Amino acid sequence: MDVARLKSIVGAQHVRDAIDELYVYGADASVHQAMPQVVVRPGSIDEIREIARYANSELIPIVARGAGSGMSGHAVPLKGGIVLDMKRMNRIIEIKPDDMYCKVEPGVVDDDLNRALKPYGLSYPPSPASSRIATIGGEIGNNASGIRSVKYGATRDYVLGLKVVLADGELVDLGARTRVEAAGYQVHRLIVGSEGTLGIIVEATLKLVPLPKFRCLSVAMFDKLEDAGESIADIIASGCEPSMLELMDDIAIKAVNTTLNMGLPEVDAIIFFEADGKVKEAIDYEITTMQEICKKHNGQITATSYDLKERTKYFSGRKKLFAALAKYKDGYACTSLADDMAVPYTKMAECARKIHEIADKYGVIMTAYGHCGSGVMHTKILMNPNDKEKWEGAKKAVEAIYDYVDKVGGVTSGEHGIALSKAPAWKKARPDLMKVMTKIKKALDPNNILNPDKLMDAPDDWYTATPIRYMIDKEKTAG
């Protein structure tokens, strides 16, 4: 690796190769860890093109990285090489309220974009729960979607156009600025969800929608998890249009109660549902319909409000859930494994129960929660990460869960992507897709330099794919 060359491209201060920094860039929000050789922080498209040309000719891997908040090892540089930190490219290039689109650099943080859009009464709505840190580039890389995807869809539905630097350094301008387009292959949509393996996104044109005038949140408690699951399925099947429909199970409730002192009732499940829009009567109608459905399934409505402060208060348990799960029990870690499958709505209730059963069977704690309105079931595995036996249990649980998901016609990942942790299960489920993906990958990145060894090229065992970023006490099992 010619570090001097990289320095001449981006400037010495934007190339990092000190061991502590490399270490930090070796991990993301997953359980994985692998060291890059160098971190480069480009400031312009031309710099990125030059880096790609160099790396392509020397066969050096490039892993584009936004905030590194991916949960399956997306930005972990499995084959070393260059981590390309995109965070300096964080300009909002253009907001066109009249034409309902904006153009941004990939390093723009989601919340920053939405803050800039607010004065225009506009919003970029597919934001994931991590919007405080996630970058637009990473959201596109993962085809991210968030708490409002049930109404507003995923990132793929908002990317109108992209500028992309290909593996050989060529810059291509894809897609359009208009709302509809039937003008050639939708290559920009192919790039969405490609996890940094097909090209480096250097600019994005995003569709915007008007901010709703009113939002109303309501909360329902259930003594039985199945009842909550059935309510969710029923809300969707009845034609309701929630702008959010979230589940928390007993473990999630307990987590926020013990760590944050939230004082939520210790029921089997809570559902949060929201409707939004311009006209109150329409919102009332949606909320009332959803409340009726919850009651029909033995739910108890504990709160309803249009008020921002109150909504924030009621929702804070769900909002802070990830942080709470991370502190669930002293010495426990909250690991993202089998963390975001999607299942058909009719399987929601069964899926939640299944997760608990499987966790029990394999001696780990798992929680079921998430953006259930779009069919997504989030889980985390909570365990002592130093105990090798727990990891063995986790592996079996992950496998059992994905077998179940596949059987009921679900998908391995609804939101966070495949990368490393989910690759083994996904490969088993999608051999056809993999074959086509391999052809396309070869066509666009023949030297395999862009985020290599992810997705279809990922190792067959996630546990041994990289060092796990916890100290695992092997003695214990040996003894």
Ligand X SMILES: Cc1cc2nc3c(=O)[nH]c(=O)nc-3n(C[C@H](O)[C@H](O)[C@H](O)COP(=O)(O)OP(=O)(O)OC[C@H]3O[C@@H](n4cnc5c(N)ncnc54)[C@H](O)[C@@H]3O)c2cc1C
Positions that interact with ligand X (CB under 6 A): 28-29, 63-71, 74-75, 86, 106, 128-130, 134-135, 137-139, 141-142, 144-146, 195-196, 200-201, 322, 415-416, 451
**Which listed residue (153, 363, 459, 467) binds its own copies by CB under 8 A?**
153
Q: How far is the CB of 373 from ligand X (least distance, A)?
A: 12
Torsion (CA) 195, 196, 200, 202 in degrees, nearest 10: 40
What is the nearest approach in angstroms of its own copies to the Cβ of residue 342?
4
Give the C-alpha distances (Å, rounded to integers) separating 315 from 211, 251, 253, 426: 20, 17, 12, 33
138 binds its own copies (CB under 8 A): no
- Residue matched to tokens 């312009």: 44
Shortest Cβ 201–ligand X spacing (Å): 4
Strand partners, 475: none
Distance linking the first and last C-alpha atoms of the chain: 44
**Is residue 90 at the binding interface for its own copies, with CB under 8 A as the rule?**
no
Return the number of the residue (139 or 234) whose C-beta is nearest ligand X.
139
Q: Among residues 331, 339, 395, which one has the least CA distance to residue 364? A: 395
* Dist. CA 223–CA 271, nearest whole Å: 12
- Phi and psi at 184, nearest 5°, equal 100, 175
Give the binding range for its own copies (CB under 8 A) out of 1-9, 37-45, 169-177, 461-469.
169-177
> Binding of its own copies at residue 118 (CB under 8 A)?
no
Q: Which of residues 278-297 bind its own copies (CB under 8 A)?
A: 278-279, 281-282, 285-286
Interface residue with its own copies among 376, 401, 450, 458 (CB under 8 A) is: 376
- Nearest CB to its own copies, comparing residues 54 and 345: 345
- Site residues for its own copies, 227-256, by CB under 8 A, read 233, 236-237, 239, 241
Task: Write out the two tokens for 471.
Answer: 């100290």
Cα–Cα distance list, 8 to 11, 165, 172 (Å):
6, 19, 24
Determine, following the binding rule CB under 8 A, whether residue 154 of this chain makes contact with its own copies: yes
Integer CA distances (angstroms), 288 to 279, 296, 301, in order? 15, 12, 11
Give ∠ CA 396-399-401 in degrees, rounded to 5: 110
Tell me how far, at minimum, the Cβ of 135 lies from ligand X, in Å. Answer: 4
Residue type present at position 425:
A
Q: Which of 434, 457, 459, 470 binds its own copies (CB under 8 A)?
A: 434
Return the one option of its own copies, ligand X, none that residue 382 interacts with (CB less than 5 to 8 A, by type). Answer: none
- Piece in contact with its own copies (CB under 8 A), picked from 183-191, 290-298, 299-307, 388-396: 183-191
From its own copies, ligand X, none, which one binds at residue 363 (CB under 5 to 8 Å depending on kind)? none
Longest dimension (CA), the chain: 69
Q: Which secondary structure element, helix H or strand E, spans residue 302, and what is its range?
A: strand 300-305
Note whether 171 and 164 are within 8 A (CB).
yes
Total chain residues near its own copies (CB under 8 A): 89
Q: Which is nearer to ligand X, 191 or 287 (CB)?
A: 191
Give every CB contact of residue 187 below 8 A, 6+ residues apart in sequence. 174, 175
Instruction: Decide if residue 396 touches its own copies (CB under 8 A).
Output: no
Rounded Cα gap, residues 63 and 424, in angstroms: 21
Residue 184 DSSP one-character state: S
3-state secondary structure of 30: coil
Among 135, 336, 367, 413, binds its own copies (CB under 8 A): 413
The item of ligand X, its own copies, none sharing an interface with residue 5, based on CB under 5 to 8 Å by kind, is none
**439: partner contacted, choices its own copies, ligand X, none (Cβ within 5-8 A by kind):** its own copies
In the three-class reduction of DSSP (H, G, I as helix; E, B as strand; rest coil), residue 16 is classed as strand
Minimum CB–partner distance for residue 141 and ligand X (Å)? 2
In the structure encoding, which two tokens stand for residue 260, read together? 């944050």
184 vs 263, beta carbon nearer its own copies: 184
Nearer to ligand X, 290 or 419 (CB): 419
Tell me the backbone φ, ψ of residue 113, rounded to 5 degrees. -65, -50
In whole angstroms, how close is the CB of 152 to ligand X at the nearest point?
A: 13
The binder of 410, among ligand X, its own copies, none, by C-beta within 5 to 8 A per type, is its own copies
Write the CA distances from 14 to 6, 8, 9, 75, integer angstroms.
Answer: 9, 10, 9, 19
DSSP category for residue 22: H
Question: Token pair 């390093």 is at which residue?
Answer: 107
Q: Please tell me the distance from the alpha carbon of residue 270 to that of residue 3, in angstroms, as a whole number.
A: 53
Does position 403 bind its own copies by CB under 8 A?
Answer: no
Q: Which one of its own copies, ligand X, none is in contact with 456 (Cβ closer than 5 to 8 A by kind)?
A: its own copies
Chain positions 256 to 275 lying near its own copies, rule: CB under 8 A, are: none
Between residue 185 and residue 214, which ones bind its own copies under the rule CB under 8 A?
185-187, 189-190, 192-194, 198, 210
Q: CB nearer to its own copies: give 128 or 393.
A: 128
Beta-ladder partners of 218:
273, 304
Q: Does 69 bind its own copies (CB under 8 A)?
A: no
Least Å from the CB of residue 320 to ligand X: 10
Please tell me whether residue 179 binds its own copies under the rule CB under 8 A.
yes
CB of residue 428 to its own copies, shortest distance in Å: 12
Contact (CB, 8 A) for 428 and 462: no
